[in-house]
Structure 1
C-alpha cells in the first residue's frame, strides 16, 4: 500500500533570516528604548509665570480661655418629708427637666426658668413665671407658643414631663413643692447636702457650682503671630507660619455652631455662647478638675481676608510682613498673611486680583509702591 506523500512548504532562507532580524530588532528596541514620562508628570523648569489662586483666610488658631464663674448656689425645695431615693453625685451635672431626688416616693422635678418659680401653677394662672416656664418647655422640645398663661398645652407638656421623671399619677399641675429650681439649664453638683433617708433640710438639698459669667483669652495654644518669623533665603522670600497681628482685625471665639466676638480686653460675655460652653464636655471637665484642666477653643477672624496663593519664590524685597511681587507684569506691594501647602498667602493692595505672578529678575528687580 502506497502512503500519501507529505507535502513540505519551503521558506526561503532569506525571508526567515529577515524575520528573525526584525524580531530581534524589536526586542532590542524594547530593551533599550528609554521609558517616556507621562505628560501629566512633566515639569517645566524654565517656567517663570504662575497663576494666582484665591481663597478666604480665617486665620483659625487654638487658644486657652479662663472661665469666670459666679458664687456657688444651694438649691432648695419647698417639699417636706423624707428622701426616699437620690441620684445626687458630686461632679455630675443636673439638667433641667430631670429628677435627682425623690421625696416621699414622689420624684422632684429639677427645672430651670429665667424667672424663678415661686407658686403653684394650675390651669388659668398667668404671669412672668408661667411665660418663663413655657420658654423652657419649648427649649426642651415641646411644641408650645409661650403666651404667659398656664393653659391646656402647657398643662399637657408638664404632665408628659412628670411622666418621664417617674411620677405615678401625673396631673399636669405644677405645685411648687414638687419642684427644685435650677439657676441654669445645667448645673454642676459640688456637694450633695442631704442623703438617702434624711429629712429635706431647709437650707438646701444640694450645692452647685456658680454659673459661667465670662471667658477670657489668656494664652495661645500654638505659635502666635509675634512668635512667627520670616525665613528669607537667597532673596526669594521663603515665608512660613506668618499671621496678621492681633490688632489688625477683629477676632471671635468659635464653638460648634456658636461664635462670640472677643473684646479688646480678651473677654467674651455673649450669653448664648456661654450657655453652649457651660453644657460642653470641656467645661464639665474643667469643673471636675477644680479649674486645673485647660479649656481650649478656636479663634478666627470675624471678617475673612481675601488672599492669593503664590509661590514663595515670587516674593522679593521682603521686609517684615510686606513684600514686592510682579503681578500681571507690574510690580505690586503685598501683605504676607500666612502660608499653606508650600504657597505663601498674600493680600494685594486695594483689593486687586491679578491672574498671574512671575519671578522677578535677580538683578534690578523693579521697586513697588
Structure 2
C-alpha cells in the first residue's frame, strides 16, 4: 500500500533546518542573494489519495439450490447471464425461471394466500407483461389466471399455483459463476454458484486506514495491462478480520469499489485501487519543499521580495500532489524552495 498524503511529505518538511524569528512572528527582512529556487503561492485544488491492492471480480457468490425432485435436463453456460423470467436450470424438461426479489418463496402460493411473497410474485408477473390483477399482498382468482397464462407460456403444467421449488429468486439478474450439477444429476441440493453482473473490486483495507475512505468517494482502478478505469466506493465493511501471513498479522475490513468503462473482460484480476481520501478546493498551496520547521514550533516559509527575504509563519492543511495547503501568505507571493 502507498500513502501519498501527509506522513511522507511532512517528514520531508521537518527535515529542513529549524529557523527562529527571534521576536516578530512576521519575520524580519534580510537582504541577500535571491534563493536559487523559488515558487509562487498558488490557488488550486488538492486531492489526497490512498493506493491499495484489490481483486476485480463480480462480487459475492451465492449458491442456487434445487428444491424439487427430478433430473437436471438443462443448465446454462458458465459465464452466462440470466434475467427475469428466463430459465436458471430445468428439471424434467420444466424450466425454473428467475424472479427478482429479496424474499425466498417458502410456501405454496394459491388463491386466498396473503403476504410479501405474494407481492413479490405479482410484481414479477406485472414486469413480465401479465395483467388483470392488482400488485398487492393478496393472491386472488385474478392472480391465479395470470399465473396460468405464465405457466402456459413457459410450457409448464397449468395449475394456477406456485411452489417454492418452481422458481429461483435473486435480487436482480445473475451471472453463472460455476456449475455444481451436470446433466442427468438428481435435482436436489446445489445446482450452480452465481454472482451479480456488476463488476466490482474487493479491497482488504487495514483498519488503521478505514477513516480515509467513505461510501461514495471516487477511485481509479489500474488493471493488469496498465489501463485505468473509473470507480466509486460502494461499501465499507463494519466487520474486522484478522489474517496472518508468515510472521505478519493484519486486521482489515472489506471495501467494495464499483467500476465503469471496463472494456476488457476479466473474470478475476489483481488490480491497484487509488481512492480519493480527501479533497480541498480553492486553497492556497506551496511546494512541500518550501516549508521550514520553526524553532518556535510549527512551520513557515521564506518569502522572497526582490533581493530581500523574510520568514513568515504559516498554518498548514492538506498535503497532496507534492504540495501543501497553507494560510498566512498571500496568493502570488514568491517563496524559496531550499534544495
TM-score when scaled to structure 2? 0.52
Structure 2 residue 191 is the aligned partner of structure 1 residue 206: yes
1:313-350 deviation digits (Å, cap 9, x = unpaired):
8714269xx853368984314256122xxxx432236x
1:83-106 deviation digits (Å, cap 9, x = unpaired):
55x243345555554314344544
Q: Cα distance 1:266–1:93, how it changes in 2: closer, same or farther (>3 A)?
A: farther
* Contact in 1 for aligned 2:56/2:271 (Cα 8 Å): yes
Alignment counterpart, residue 105 of structure 2, candidates 111, 114, 117: 117
Q: Cα distance 1:154–1:325, how it changes in 2: closer, same or farther (>3 A)?
A: farther
Structure 2 residue 334 is the aligned partner of structure 1 residue 345: no
* Contact in 1 for aligned 2:39/2:337 (Cα 8 Å): no
1:128-173 deviation digits (Å, cap 9, x = unpaired):
322445677799999999743346997799789779xx61589795
Deviation at 1:55, TM superposition (A): 1.6
Q: How does 1:271-350 map to 2 (within 5 A)?
A: 285-286=267-268, 293-294=269-270, 296-301=272-277, 304-306=279-281, 308=283, 310=285, 312=287, 315-317=290-292, 324-325=300-301, 330-335=312-317, 337-339=319-321, 344-348=322-326
1:200-225 deviation digits (Å, cap 9, x = unpaired):
725236132699xx955258xxxxxx
Which residue is equivalent to 1:149?
138
Unaligned 5+ segments in structure 2 are 1-35, 220-230, 241-250, 305-309
Distance 1:81 1:299 in 2: 50
Distance 2:189 2:323 in 1: 59
Give SS of 1:285's match.
coil
* Contact in 2 for aligned 1:251/1:300 (Cα 8 Å): yes
* Contact in 1 for aligned 2:314/2:329 (Cα 8 Å): no
Q: Cα distance 1:134–1:63, how it changes in 2: closer, same or farther (>3 A)?
A: farther
Which residue is equivalent to 2:168?
181
Give SS of 1:77's match.
strand
Q: Name which structure has the greater RCO, CA cutoff 8 Å, separation 6+.
A: 2
Which residue is equivalent to 1:130?
118
Q: Cα distance 1:100–1:267, how it changes in 2: closer, same or farther (>3 A)?
A: same
Give SS of 2:214's match.
strand
Give SS of 2:323's match.
strand
* Contact in 2 for aligned 1:216/1:266 (Cα 8 Å): no
Alignment counterpart, residue 52 of structure 1, candidates 5, 19, 42: 42
Deviation at 1:76, TM superposition (A): 0.6
Larger radius of gyration: 1
Q: Cα distance 1:94–1:110, how it changes in 2: closer, same or farther (>3 A)?
A: same
Distance 1:145 1:304 in 2: 49
Unaligned 5+ segments in structure 1 are 1-45, 220-245, 287-292, 363-369
CA RMSD in angstroms comes to 5.6
Deviation at 1:181, TM superposition (A): 2.6
Give SS of 1:130's match.
helix
Distance 1:361 1:74 in 2: 63
* Contact in 2 for aligned 1:252/1:262 (Cα 8 Å): no
Which residue is equivalent to 1:359?
335
State the aligned residue count.
262
Q: Cα distance 1:249–1:76, how it changes in 2: closer, same or farther (>3 A)?
A: closer
Distance 1:60 1:283 in 2: 26
* Contact in 2 for aligned 1:48/1:359 (Cα 8 Å): yes
Give SS of 2:267's match.
helix
